[in-house]
Amino acid sequence: MKKDIERVVQALGDSSAVKNVHQVSGGDINQAFYVKTEEQEYFIKGNQNVPSHFFKAEAEGLKLIKETRTAAVPEVYYYDEPKQGEAAMLAMKWVEGEDRPHTAEVLGRKLAEMHNHKADRYGFGLPTFVGTMDQPNEWRNTWLEYYRDCRLKEQLEIGLDKGNLPLSRQKNLEWLIEHLDVWIPASPSPSLLHGDLWGGNFIAGPKGEPYLIDPSVLYGDPCFELAFTELFGGFSQDFYTAYKEVSPLPSDYEDIRPLYQLFYLLVHLNMFGESYGPSVDQILKRFTK
Under a CB-based contact definition with an 8 Å cutoff, are residues 87 and 33 in contact? no
Which residues are paired to 66 by β-bridges? none
The active-site residue, picked from 4, 196, 214, 221, is 196
CA distance 279 to 231: 11
Question: pLDDT at position 26, please?
Answer: 66
Q: Cα separations (Å) of 89 from 24, 30, 47, 48, 202?
A: 15, 10, 7, 9, 20
CA distance 285 to 282: 5
* Residue range(s) defining the domain that contains residue 245: 103-288
CA distance 1 to 113: 38
Question: pLDDT at position 55, please?
Answer: 94
Helix axes 277-288, 167-178, angle to 10 degrees: 50
Q: Do 49 and 79 belong together in one domain?
A: yes
With a cut of 70, which residues of the chain have pLDDT below it? 26-28
Q: Give the SS3 label for residue 260.
A: helix
Q: Catalytic: 14?
A: no
Q: Do 113 and 210 belong together in one domain?
A: yes
**Which CATH number covers residue 30?**
3.30.200.20
CA distance 14 to 147: 43
Q: Do 150 and 276 belong together in one domain?
A: yes
- Beta strands 191-193; 218-220: pairing state: antiparallel
Question: pLDDT at position 27, please?
Answer: 62
Q: Do 65 and 167 belong together in one domain?
A: no
